[in-house]
């Protein structure tokens, strides 16, 4: 497209005085007259400047694009690492909770075991006491039977001697001594049993 002389001169003057040149797609439609070397040179210069500027901008834009892609890639990697960390943290938290729960369960089991042990000890003590009481009862029974048996036999023998009119001096003293001994032993046995019972009670 050829331009009017006034416009042509305006372009050339602006370039000379202000160093402002035409640029962009507009340059692709501007044409100089065949014999107008000055304007042709002006258009060539404008195109060269425009092309240099575009090349520079294209290189920078591509560089920014590359950087953006790199940032995006790094960002994705970071997101992936963050996800892994978050997962590991959740896992650790879960394991910590499990450990806490296991500890609580172990404590409950320990308390249960202690309770059972205490119950067993109580039962054992009760059983021991029962056995002791039964043993003491048996001792008392046997002792009383022996005492009563000996007392009855001696008394019967003494009564028999008295009724038959035999000499009763020896049996009399024997009966008296024996009765005394038996009585003393009876109290001794009772005293021992009471003592044992009292001592057992104090131990508990």
Partner 1 sequence: MIDTLMLIDDENLFHLVFEDACSLLDIALSIEALNSSDEADKLFSDWFPDDPNGEKPECVFVDLNIIGSSFDGIEMIRKINHDYGNGVVIGIISSSEDEMEIQKAKDVGAQFWIIKSDDIEPRLEAFKEDYEGYKSGSAPFKVYK
Cβ count near 179 (within 10 Å):
16
151 contacts 179 by C-beta, under 8 angstroms: yes
71 binds partner 1 (CB under 8 A): no
Looking at 61, 84, 96, 102, which residue binds partner 1 (CB under 8 A)? 61
Q: Which of 2, 33, 44, 68 binds partner 1 (CB under 8 A)?
A: 68
Angstrom distance (rounded) from CA 151 to CA 144: 10
Q: Is 23 left (phi over 0), alpha (psi -120 to 50) or beta?
A: beta
Residues 6+ apart with CB under 8 A from 49: 21, 23
Select 66 or 97, whichever has its Cβ closest to partner 1: 66
- In this complex, which beta carbon is closest to partner 1, that of residue 51 or of residue 177? 51
**Sole binder of partner 1 in the list 64, 74, 108, 120 (CB under 8 A):** 64
Binding partner 1 (rule: CB under 8 A), the pick from 25, 164, 202, 204 is: 25
- Please report which residue ranges of 19-36 form alpha helices under DSSP H: 26-29
| Residue whose CB is less far from partner 1, 79 or 91 | 79
Of residues 26 through 45, those in contact with partner 1 by CB under 8 A are 28-29
Picking from 191, 85, 99, the residue whose alpha carbon sits closest to that of residue 143 is: 191
Contacting positions for partner 1 (CB under 8 A): 24-25, 28-29, 50-51, 54-55, 57-58, 61-62, 64-66, 68
């Amino acid at each position: 497209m050829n331009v009017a002389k006034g416009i042509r001169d305006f372009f050339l003057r602006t370039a000379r005085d202000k160093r402002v040149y035409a640029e962009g797609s507009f340059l692709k439609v501007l044409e100089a007259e065949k014999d107008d070397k000055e304007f042709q040179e002006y258009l060539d210069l404008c195109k060269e400047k425009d092309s240099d500027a575009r090349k520079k901008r294209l290189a920078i834009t591509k560089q920014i694009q590359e950087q953006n892609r790199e940032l995006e890639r790094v960002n994705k990697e970071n997101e992936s690492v963050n996800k892994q960390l978050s997962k590991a943290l959740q896992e650790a938290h879960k394991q910590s909770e499990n450990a806490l729960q296991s500890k609580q369960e172990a404590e409950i089991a320990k308390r249960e075991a202690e309770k059972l042990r205490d119950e067993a000890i109580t039962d054992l003590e009760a059983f021991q006491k029962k056995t002791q009481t039964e043993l003491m009862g048996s001792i008392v029974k046997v002792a009383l039977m022996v005492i009563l048996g000996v007392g009855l036999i001696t008394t019967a023998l003494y009564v028999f001697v008295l009724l038959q009119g035999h000499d009763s001096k020896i049996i009399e003293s024997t009966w008296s001594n024996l009765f005394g001994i038996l009585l003393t032993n009876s109290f001794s046995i009772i005293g021992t049993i009471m003592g044992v019972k009292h001592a057992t009670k104090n131990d508990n």
